[in-house]
Amino acid sequence: MSLKSVSPQAARQLLDAGAVLVDIRGADEYAREHIRGARHLSLDQLNAAGTELVGSKAVIFHCRGGQRTRMNEARLAGCVSCDAYMLEGGIQAWKAAGLEVEQDPTQPLELQRQVMIAAGSLVLLGVLLGYALSPWLFLLSGFVGGGLIFAGISGFCGMALLLQRMPWNRRLNQP
């Protein structure tokens, strides 16, 4: 099974004709920015929520840039019994086409971006301190690099768990 690719303009027409738009990104991404009227069903929720999509004329799946949707194409197509589409270029292409999105800048940055900012800052700090104070401080950069490798291999990111508990992320974590 595969999804038919659809441009943002064609997706807009399908939505006007009754199609359902499903945002498969994480809750933190959706809270900060989403296409008006899109249902949020992250990839983790989709199998359990597939019944919510039964009876739809057509379903259009999207993510940020299209890669996640493309990588999960067969799984997504299997969740519906109607015409299923993939929004070319995701929400980024939707915005580039001049179509409207709802944004809430009071929501925290997406957790993945927070991890990249924190990890990059710690690596840079380790390098600067290593040159300025003591070569032993280069170990900070090595520790962060090792942590990123471990996170990539295992799927467990301690930094993400720590950041998720920070005060600015608490509103998103509450039911």
How far from chain centre, in Å, is Cα 171?
A: 18
Q: What amino acid is encoded at 24 in this protein?
A: I
Over residues 87-125, the pLDDT tens digits come to 999 999 999 999 999 998 888 888 888 999 999 999 999
Contact, 11 vs 35, CB < 8 A?
Answer: no
- Measured at the CA of 110, the angle between CA 46 and CA 70, to 5 degrees, comes to 45
Nearest to 43 by CA among 26, 67, 20, 56: 26
According to DSSP, the residues that pair with 73 across neighbouring strands are none
pTM: 0.74
Verify whether residue 63 is a known catalytic residue.
yes
The one catalytic residue in 63, 79, 82, 157 is 63
What would the pLDDT profile of 59-86 be if each residue is shown by its tens digit?
999 999 999 999 999 888 888 888 999 9
* Cα(173)–Cα(1) distance, integer angstroms: 35
CATH 3.40.250.10 residue ranges of the chain are 4-103
d(CA 127, CA 120): 11
Neighbours of 145 (CB within 10 A): 14
Q: Which CATH class is domain 4-103?
A: alpha beta
